[in-house]
Copies of this chain bind each other. A is one copy, B any other.
Amino acid sequence: MAISEHIRELMSGSSWIRKMFEAGARLKAEHGADKVYDFSLGNPNLAPPERFPQTIRAILDEQVPAKHSYMQNAGYLETRKAVAKTASAEQAVSIGENNIIMTTGAGGAMNIALKAILNPGDTVLVPSPFFMEYRFYADNHGAELVPVPSAAGFEPDITALAAAVDKRTAAVIINSPNNPTGAVYSENAIAELGTMLEKKSRETGRSIYLISDEPYRHIVFDGLTVPPVMKHYRNTIVATSYSKDLSIPGERIGWAAVHPEADGGDELAAGMILANRILGYVNAPALMQRAAARLQGEWVDAEIYRKKRDLLCDGLEKAGYELTRPAGTFYLFLPAPGGDDEAFVEKLQKQLILAVPGRGFGAPGYIRLSFCVADEVINGAMPGFEAALDA
């Protein structure tokens, strides 16, 4: 016996991803990376806004003691104050700096939230399709992720979610704008979800937390805004990051916010701060925290992604694909022609196009295309998309 049996299971369970990435890597090695049209990764291709490197340079030039030292595990006070202001505006409740914890990206925020609330044997519900990492995040802390199929238009199915709640239910995760579907939940759906969770918390005798993972909040199109979540449910924890806002996913900077009236209140925030420390994050990266304090509102221009969405969707529709345009994010989630997602992903690979089969998100029969790529990639891939449809 060498490595952990559980990590071995997890590795074998995600072997299809490895297989897919290996197929992609093989194609790139064979044909040259520039000949392969890679729509498989959620890795923004935009450069960060010019104010980002400017701000980093300004911070480096300043005389500040302990500039790169440890700080409180929750993060710099200055940063948390700036974030609290943004979060208050977005969530339509008054959030103080003590309800903000700076984190190692949204992934860190999700993990400290789950570590602070989960007991062994708990379940965490998520509308399906869902971002595949959630399964691991729940599992990290001894709980099981339970996907609940979404309603039409990929809105959360409140009745189905309500039916899935039992005494083991510790949390519901939502992700709007959604990866992989691009759906943005309506304020109505959020309000209904809040009412349902309020009722179910009373019935089950435990506070069911709503964890709202919002890294795509600022990438929405056609005049849409993302409704506040905390306004509609007290026991909400928001998790987000600057990965997409500033196109800096590799820097691992994000935050968690705890609703000021959440059950457990200060204890919950304290538990999340302890989790930030003991999970080995310790604190969010210092320089990025200092930058974040000064870059609130300096978000990527969503119009750039809107144009890419339309370039891709126009082309695909012209080629004969059936699809619904995403209201936000940089993902298009469309039915796999022929119905078999893996088979169609293989057809696309023959055209040197990389996509992700929907089964990776709990939705076989769909494929996900990330359009955070150069326009040339979208244009260059069109003949291949056409050919795959006819194959």
Q: Could you tell me which A residues sit within 8 Å of B by CB distance?
A: 1-8, 10-11, 14, 41, 43-45, 47-48, 53, 56-57, 60, 66-71, 104-105, 107-108, 110-111, 115-120, 133, 136-137, 139-142, 205-207, 246-252, 262-264, 267-268, 270-271, 274-275, 277-288
Contact = CB atoms under 8 A, between A and B. Distances in A.
B3 A117 contact: yes
A281 B252 contact: yes
Contacts of A288: 285
A281 B108 contact: yes
Contacts of A281: 104, 107-108, 252, 280-281
Nearest to A278: B136
Contact of A69 (B1, B43, B70, B285): B43
Within the oligomer, what is the number of copies of this chain? 2
23 contacts: A1-B206, A3-B267, A4-B115, A7-B116, A43-B69, A43-B70, A45-B66, A47-B67, A48-B68, A56-B56, A69-B247, A70-B249, A70-B250, A104-B280, A104-B281, A104-B282, A105-B280, A133-B278, A133-B280, A136-B278, A250-B283, A250-B287, A279-B279
Given A57-B60, A274-B14, A205 B1 contact: yes
Nearest to A250: B286
A278 B5 contact: no
A251 B286 contact: yes
Nearest to A61: B53
B7 A115 contact: yes
A258 to B, nearest CB: 11
A4 to B, nearest CB: 5
Contacts of A120: 6
Contacts of A10: 274, 278
B285 A1 contact: no
A271 B7 contact: yes
A104 B288 CA distance: 14
Please list the 4 inter-chain residue pairs (A to B) with the smallest Cβ-Cβ separation, ordered nearest first: A250-B286, A2-B264, A107-B280, A136-B278
B66 A41 contact: no
B108 A280 contact: yes
Nearest to A206: B1
A6 B119 contact: yes
A251 B71 CA distance: 10
Contact of A251 (B141, B262, B275, B285): B285
